[in-house]
Amino acid sequence: MEGPYSARFCRIPTGGLRVSRKFGHQPVLVGEVVDLLRPAGGGLVVDATVGGGGHARAILDALGGTTRLIGIDKDEAALSAAGESLSEYGSRVALRRGDFRTLADLAEREEVASVQAVLADLGVSSPQLDWADRGFSVHQDAPLDMRMDRTAPLTAAAVVNDYDEEALARLIARYGEERFARRIAAAIVAARVRAPIRTTTELAAIVTAAIPAATRRSGRHPARRTFQALRIEVNDELGALADLLAGAPDLLAPGGVFAVISYHSLEDRMVKRAFRARGLPAPAPHGMPVAPGPTGFEILTPKVIRPSAAEQAANPRSQSARLRALGRRRAAAA
C-alpha cells in the first residue's frame, strides 16, 4: 500500500494483492457485538482486526448510513478480502494495513480526535488456519511460519531452531499454559541437533512424542498448546494486546464502546483486568468506605458473553470465544 495513512475517508486499495483462495471466515458473536455497539450511535467505528470484513458489514448495516469504519489488519490477504467484501459501502470504509497496537498513532495520522466504537476480534481467522502454507495449524503440513504479517522477520522456524532450551520451555509454559513445557523444549533441542526442524508436521510429531501417552489419548491435539505459544511469540500478540488495552479507551467519545473478543485465558485475563482497572472505582484506604471513582468508564459486560449453543454447534471454532466490553460514560446532564 502506498502511504499507509490518509486524512480522507475513501476505499483504499490493499497494495494490489489478489488472493486466488477465498477468504471464507465466519465471524463470531456478530449479533452480540452489534447489540453492544448500537447504543454508541452513528459515527466512526474502528474494526481493529477487520479480517474478511464479516463484523464490519454487520456493524455498517446495523448502525446506519452515518456510520463510517476504519478496518485495520496486518494480513494482506485479509485486507484484500475485506476490500472486496466491503466495496459496496464506498467512502464509508477505509482500510489500513497495520498493527492495532498503533491505534493511537493511526488516529492521529487520520486526524481523528475520537471514535464511537473500537472492536478487536483477537482470534486467528479460518483461512489462516486452513491455508496450509501459513503454518498455523497443527493439522496441516507446512513450513513453520505463523506470521500474521508475512513481512515480519521472526518466524516459528527461527524460534524453534534458535531459542535455547530454557527460553523455549519458558514461552511454551507461559503462552501455551503447557504443563509438559520442559519435556517438550528438551525434545525440540534434541531433535534439532540432528537436523533443523522445518515443518509443522515435524514439530507436531516431536511435541506429541514428548508428552506422556496417557495424556495424548485425551482431549485435543497434544501439540496445540505449543503451537499457540509459538504463534503468540512470533506475532507478539500479548504485547500488542497490552498496548491496545492501554490506548483504545482514551480514543472513545462519550457514550463510546470498546469491545474485545478473546479466545484463550491469557487474552481474556488481560482484557478483564484492564477493563476492571478502568471501569471500577479505586480501592479506599484500609477501613475507609469505597467512594465511586471518577474513571469515566463502565464495564458493559459484568458477565463475559459466550456464543450460544446454536452458534457453537454451527461454528465449532466459536466455542472458546469470550466477549467483553467497556463503555465511556456520557457527560451528566446539567
CATH code, domain with 184: 1.10.150.170
Q: Residue 25: inside a domain, yes or no?
A: no
Q: Residue 218: inside a domain, yes or no?
A: yes
Say if residue 108's pLDDT is above 60.
yes
- Could you report the per-residue pLDDT of 158-173, keeping only the tens digit for each? 999 999 999 999 999 9
pLDDT attached to residue 125: 61
Same domain, 268 and 282: yes
Residues 176 and 228: beta-carbon distance below 8 Å = yes
Average pLDDT, integer, range 292-296: 60
Spell out the residues 6+ positions from residue 204 whose beta carbon is closer than 8 angstroms to its own. 138, 221, 223, 227
**Which pLDDT band, with edges at 50, 70 and 90, does 106 fall under?**
confident
Same domain, 299 and 242: yes
**Which pLDDT band, with edges at 50, 70 and 90, does 22 fall under?**
low
Residues 132 and 141: beta-carbon distance below 8 Å = yes
pLDDT attached to residue 135: 73
Q: Residue 286: inside a domain, yes or no?
A: yes
Q: Residue 12: inside a domain, yes or no?
A: no
Average pLDDT, integer, range 59-63: 95
Say if residue 333's pLDDT is above 80.
no
Q: What is the DSSP letter of 96?
A: E
Domain extent at residue 250: 30-127+237-328
Say if residue 281's pLDDT is above 90.
no
Question: If phi over 0 gives left and psi between -120 and 50 gives alpha, with beta otherwise, what is residue 39?
Answer: alpha
Say if residue 18's pLDDT is above 50.
no
Same domain, 80 and 219: no
CATH number of the structural domain spanning residue 94: 3.40.50.150
Q: Residue 271: inside a domain, yes or no?
A: yes
**Higher pLDDT among residues 151 and 190, named by residue:** 190
Same domain, 278 and 211: no
Same domain, 245 and 183: no
> How confident is the prediction for the chain on average, in pLDDT?
85
Same domain, 229 and 186: yes
pLDDT attached to residue 228: 94
Say if residue 216's pLDDT is above 70.
yes
Same domain, 294 and 212: no
Q: Residue 175: inside a domain, yes or no?
A: yes
Same domain, 76 and 143: no
Same domain, 148 and 109: no
pLDDT attached to residue 334: 46
Same domain, 220 and 251: no
pLDDT attached to residue 56: 96
Q: Residue 15: inside a domain, yes or no?
A: no
Same domain, 177 and 112: no
As a whole number of angstroms, the distance between CA 268 and CA 254 comes to 25
pTM: 0.85
3-state percent helix, strand, coil for the chain, nearest multiple of 5: 45, 15, 40
| Domain stop point among 235, 260, 275 | 235
pLDDT attached to residue 292: 47
Highest mean pLDDT among 54-68, 277-291, 293-307: 54-68
| Domain stop point among 200, 235, 270 | 235
**Total number of domains in the chain:** 2
Of 297, 318, 238, the residue nearest 118 (C-alpha):
297
- Could you report the per-residue pLDDT of 311-328, keeping only the tens digit for each? 999 998 899 999 999 999
Q: Residue 2: inside a domain, yes or no?
A: no
Q: What is the DSSP letter of 92?
A: G
Same domain, 72 and 200: no
pLDDT attached to residue 130: 56
Say if residue 309's pLDDT is above 70.
yes
pLDDT attached to residue 87: 95
Say if residue 9's pLDDT is above 60.
no
pLDDT attached to residue 21: 45
| Domain stop point among 177, 202, 235 | 235
Average pLDDT, integer, range 45-74: 93
As a whole number of angstroms, the distance between CA 122 and CA 124 comes to 7
